[in-house]
Copies of this chain bind each other. A is one copy, B any other.
Amino acid sequence: MHSPNPQSAIRNPQSPIPDPHSPAPLFLRAANGEATERPPVWLMRQAGRILPQYRALRSKFPDFKAFVKTPEAAAEATIQPVDELGVDAAIVFSDILVVPEAMGLDYEMVEAKGPRFPKVIENQNDVAGLISGVMAAERLAYVYEALRITKRELAGRVPLLGFAGAPWTILAYMVEGSGSKTFSKARRMLYAEPELAHALLQKITDTTIQYLKNQVTAGADLVQIFDSWAGELPPEHYRVFAVPYLGQICEALPEVPKTIFAKGAWFALEDLANLPCQVLGLDWNITPEFGKKSSGGRKVLQGNLDPCALYADTKSIEKETFAMIRAFGGHHIANLGHGVYPDTPLDGVRAFVEAVKSFRWEL
């Protein structure tokens, strides 16, 4: 029903010598800032519980972590939405918390509650005891293997995204020890022990750089950095404790397009637009107009339909999706403004993907 061949219909009038026999995939073209006939489309958390195939696969494992650490299964989960929904990109099935684990901070995933770290980072000794950089990254061989298998199985159908959590978000979990309504323990560190926070952020950054480099070596065509708790910080703290580390990561990965999705950080878009990344993800609070203005038209923007829009009927979803695409007006990758909610009806997800795929700009 969905042809996994999104590039077939693409013309790119900005490219003077198009090669019709081997056009770059739509997603890569869009991420690189080329004009495209329509925006490419994928969904954050598309490899997940919205798909019956995923739930069947998940049920074979005693827990989430065993699933994540089985490369064949992770690859299968990664490819499922490409097959089932016809999205324009695959994103490797994994979790941002594999990084703190590789650094020596084990976590458990508590069903229906989320992650929990039995031990948290409290002082300089704790930070000093962490593994980082190459040594930490080499503990994540199972992710690279999942990428290699996925790449082979995809056989060029769509580009493959790697990803990691942003340093601030990873620090937030390592200090807080779990999800939180306020992340006040983690935020407290930024006020009470800023140097400790910087030391930890640097270790996370070193690890993340090597982790993403390895992902690229294993087949990731692009990478996305998720700063899920960006919106918890005051603007000045985001400037001091988040942006510079994101900058280090972007600079260390010149070989692939990079997307930064800093949820809730509407106030930081101008700073993020100065980083050497290609794409900025926007949540559903941000109007396309605000996103374009704040980023000065220098970035491709990704997003940002409210995930709840997919609970409505097909006609409404189509209308909302078209309105969003027109409001972005190009240089846009269609997505939701957050990960798709697990209870979203599959028909709603399909309606969104199909609406984007039926859209055409007059180029």
Chain A interface residues toward B at CB < 8 A: 179, 181-182, 184, 187-188, 190-192, 231, 233-235, 237, 264, 266-267, 284-287, 290, 306-309, 311-313, 316, 337-338, 341, 343
> Quick check: B182 and A341 within 8 Å, CB to CB?
yes
Query: Which residues of B lie under 8 Å from residue A285 when comparing CB positions?
Result: 231, 233-235, 264, 266-267
Specify the chain B residue showing the minimal Cβ separation from A312: B191
Measured CB to CB, the closest approach of chain B to A180, in angstroms, equals 10
Measured CB to CB, the closest approach of chain B to A239, in angstroms, equals 11
Specify the chain B residue showing the minimal Cβ separation from A264: B285
27 A-B Cβ contacts within 8 A? A182-B307, A182-B338, A182-B341, A184-B307, A184-B308, A184-B341, A184-B343, A187-B306, A187-B308, A188-B311, A191-B308, A191-B309, A191-B312, A191-B316, A192-B311, A192-B313, A231-B285, A233-B285, A235-B285, A235-B287, A237-B306, A264-B264, A266-B266, A266-B285, A267-B285, A267-B286, A267-B287
> Quick check: A191 and B287 within 8 Å, CB to CB?
no
A284–B187 Cα distance when bound, in Å, is: 12
Query: Which residues of B lie under 8 Å from residue A235 when comparing CB positions?
Result: 285, 287
Measured CB to CB, the closest approach of chain B to A114, in angstroms, equals 9
Query: Which residues of B lie under 8 Å from residue A187 when comparing CB positions?
Result: 306, 308
A343–B191 Cα distance when bound, in Å, is: 15
A191–B305 Cα distance when bound, in Å, is: 12
6 further A-B pairs in the complex, CB-CB below 8 A; given A182-B307, A266-B266: A184-B308, A184-B311, A264-B264, A266-B285, A267-B285, A267-B286
Measured CB to CB, the closest approach of chain B to A7, in angstroms, equals 31
Specify the chain B residue showing the minimal Cβ separation from A182: B341
A285–B286 Cα distance when bound, in Å, is: 14
> Quick check: A311 and B191 within 8 Å, CB to CB?
yes
A306–B343 Cα distance when bound, in Å, is: 34
Measured CB to CB, the closest approach of chain B to A308, in angstroms, equals 4
